[in-house]
Structure 1
Amino acid sequence: MLKTALVLGATGLVGQQLIAQLCSDSRYKSIVCLVRKPLGYELAFSHDDKLQPIVIDFAALQDYQGYFGVDHVYVCLGSTIKKAGNRKAFRKVDFEYIHVAAQLARAQHVQSFVWISSVGANAQSSLFYLRVKGELENAIFKLSGLEHASAVRPSLLLGNRKEHRLAEKIGGLLAGLLSPLFVGPFAKYKPIQAAEVATKMIQLQVF
């Protein structure tokens, strides 16, 4: 039986790759994506046979519960403290929105739920970013009734971003030079292409 999917965060680095892969995946018949603003022309119309973009207010995400009545939910939401403006705004996107999405997915009895966390996520971390990611993992994995919840924990994401992030660009260049050192227990810290993360998310869903 063909599957249906819901994607949150379709316009981000991983989200765009995920949409492209889902739309070309013969196992899916439809993909709904909840977005803050209309999709760009290229993304919206290159896959218009399967893709249904819905512009919503994420601050009122609970009002869109009906869209969670799908087989698979993918959450690619994520920000940075710099982009969000402050820690509170960052936590709203990277914890609250995703946690609400998990609760809505549970209420609709989805088959599986996958979201993007981070390598090093730890609720006890001294680093705010990793602490929030870890707290979210704990909160979602403790949700009774949410079957097959999985977190993808990438390191530095590589790919073509719309916005310019100097630190990530420098990090990507250094990572390329240091890549041979990311072996054994350090392999998880190796930077990864956004397309690979998208592929991993699909592999974690239940078919």
Structure 2
Amino acid sequence: MKLLLLGATGLVGSRTLALALSGNVFSEVIAPTRRPLPPRDGLVNPVASGLETLVTASMSYEPDAVICALGTTQAKAGSKEAFRQVDYELPLIFAGAAHSAGVNTFAIVTAMGASAESMSFYYRTKGEVEKGIREIGFQSLSICRPSLIGGERNEARTMEGAALTLFRVLAPVLPKKLRINSADAIAAALIDAVIAAKPGCRYIHSQEMA
């Protein structure tokens, strides 16, 4: 089984890559990135400064399933337009190309609270990408909606770090759905979802990964 993994340099994506390469389910993991990844057995790593230019190259490896862990913040991206390009446009470009190439199984990480009708630009964008990918028509679609994501990041996120600290302190009294989801748990849920490839659209909620 060949897996196309988007977002392999991020927190969840890097954990997903490590997990996918550590087992014997995937014969190959295709991970297009903007900067090269360390070479590993079973890893195919197309590299370009613009991921949208790697769509055709990625599909040429004939993946059987796609996991999309692309994601950023408006602060890191620099603008709403740049954020939307990473969190909305790129996932839909790759999803459409994958479906056209005959890929039937897709899994994506969005966020708890994602809604196309949200007043929040962040959650509205997450809801809109969910809607767009549902409309593509994958036989098996898994939408992972974590709460705050725990794990060591390559970049500092001050506001998110403060929220994580608060959530850890309050963990004993918080509802399960509001507890921190570790990047490892999210990665495992994504891997399990594409291996099982259950028909239809399935949501994986935060409490299932707590």
Instruction: Give the 5 Å matches for 1:152-163.
Output: 152-163=144-155
Find 1:142's aligned residue among 135, 138, 155. 135
Letter in 1 for 2:17: I
2:27 maps to what in 1?
29
What is the aligned residue count?
195
1:167 and 2:159 are equivalent in the alignment:
yes
1:120 maps to what in 2?
113
In structure 2, distance between residues paired with 1:178 and 1:126? 27
**TM-score normalised over the length of structure 2:** 0.88
In structure 2, distance between residues paired with 1:21 and 1:67? 23
1:179 maps to what in 2?
171
SS at match of 1:133: helix
1:89 maps to what in 2?
82
Find 1:151's aligned residue among 143, 146, 156. 143
**TM-score normalised over the length of structure 1:** 0.89
SS at match of 1:122: coil
What percentage of residue pairs aligned between the two structures are identical?
33
How big is the shift at 1:113? 0.6
1:17 maps to what in 2?
15
Structure 2 unmatched ranges of 5 or more: 197-210
Structure 1 unmatched ranges of 5 or more: none
1:189 and 2:187 are equivalent in the alignment:
no
4+ residue stretches of structure 1 with deviation over 4 A? none
State the Cα deviation string for residues 125-162 of structure 1 (Å, max 9, x = none): 00000000001111111113x22121111111111111
How big is the shift at 1:62? 4.0
Q: RMSD across aligned C-alpha pairs, in angstroms?
A: 1.5
In structure 2, distance between residues paired with 1:63 and 1:81? 28
